[in-house]
Amino acid sequence: MEELIREKGTPLYLQLADELRKQIEEGILKEDERIPTEKELSDRYNVSRITVRKALEILTDEDLLTRKQGVGTFVTGKKLVRNLNTLMSFSQNCIQNGEKPGTKFLSADIVTAMPSDVKYLHIQKGEKIIRIRRLRYCNDVPVMLEENHFPRKFAFLLSEDLNQPLFSTLAAHNVILKTGTKKIGICYATKEEAKELGVKENEALLYMWDTCADADGNPVYYGKNIINADRYTYILQLDVDEGAK
């Protein structure tokens, strides 16, 4: 049993949180490591389970711990931060953050448009589209499965190196992206998605729909991104809309 050095006047759960935070900061509890159970912590520090629970809640709020459904509580791994304020490519964003972007090309094919393609790419039912699937890495960690759909006139992409940044490849063909829309929700990893992203099947992931248009408002692509939220955080900096005060 490792007793806490009990400070008078500071609630025990804060003391336990401080102790565990210290262990995380000093690397005694390591990134992605599963921490002991509530029962084990309660025995080890000679505190009630309610105290343990409150301490773990604090550290979870601070994003130092991550609770996973039915699995346990883990020390949060290093998260890569993506700023959503501007329409910046994945690679550009990584570089701006001082991180190393990476891409693994998975597949490219010509397929019949789905209804969502018809809607977002402004094409006719039954038309063919270009579908490109890539796995995106940040500092060699797989963080996002990206599937982009392009109108068929973008078939020139199929002869390009799709491990390279797509925005640059498009720019080399005089396709300049100007505006975009993103929509964020939750999905659950399929077997294949789990394998590519190194997570468990059915684990909750962020789902981001993504559309992009050129300066004339013509759709360039419609995409779906499956994101490992344990590894990748989206942030936004906002200003008050003057009209909405």
What residues line the site for a second copy (CB under 8 A)?
Answer: 11, 14, 17, 21, 58, 61-63, 67-70, 84-88, 92, 96, 112, 114-116, 167, 171, 176-188, 202, 204-206, 224, 229, 233-241, 244-245
Q: Which residue, 43 or 180, has its beta carbon nearer to a second copy?
A: 180
Q: Which residue, 43 or 79, has its beta carbon nearer to a second copy?
A: 79
Q: Return d(Cα 44, Cα 17) in angstroms, integer.
A: 14
Q: Return d(Cα 138, Cα 200) in angstroms, integer.
A: 20
Q: How far is the CB of 31 from a second copy (least distance, A)?
A: 16
- Whether the CB-CB separation of 213 and 176 falls below 8 Å is answered with no
Q: Which residue, 32 or 61, has its beta carbon nearer to a second copy?
A: 61
Side chain identity, residue 173: H
Other Cβ atoms less than 10 A from the Cβ of 79: the count is 16
Q: Alpha carbon of 1 to those of 27, 45, 106: distances in Å?
A: 20, 6, 51
Q: Which residue, 156 or 188, has its beta carbon nearer to a second copy?
A: 188
Q: How far is the CB of 125 from a second copy (least distance, A)?
A: 10
Q: 135 phi and psi, to 5 degrees? A: -105, 130
Q: How far is the CB of 60 from a second copy (least distance, A)?
A: 8
Please count the residues of the chain.
245
Q: How far is the CB of 152 from a second copy (least distance, A)?
A: 18
Q: Which residue, 157 or 205, has its beta carbon nearer to a second copy?
A: 205
Q: How far is the CB of 213 from a second copy (least distance, A)?
A: 10
Q: Which residue, 40 or 201, has its beta carbon nearer to a second copy?
A: 201
Q: Which helix (H) or strand (E) holds 197?
A: helix 191-197
Other Cβ atoms less than 10 A from the Cβ of 164: the count is 13
Q: How far is the CB of 1 from a second copy (least distance, A)?
A: 26
Alpha-helical segments (H) within 49-161: 49-61, 90-96, 115-121
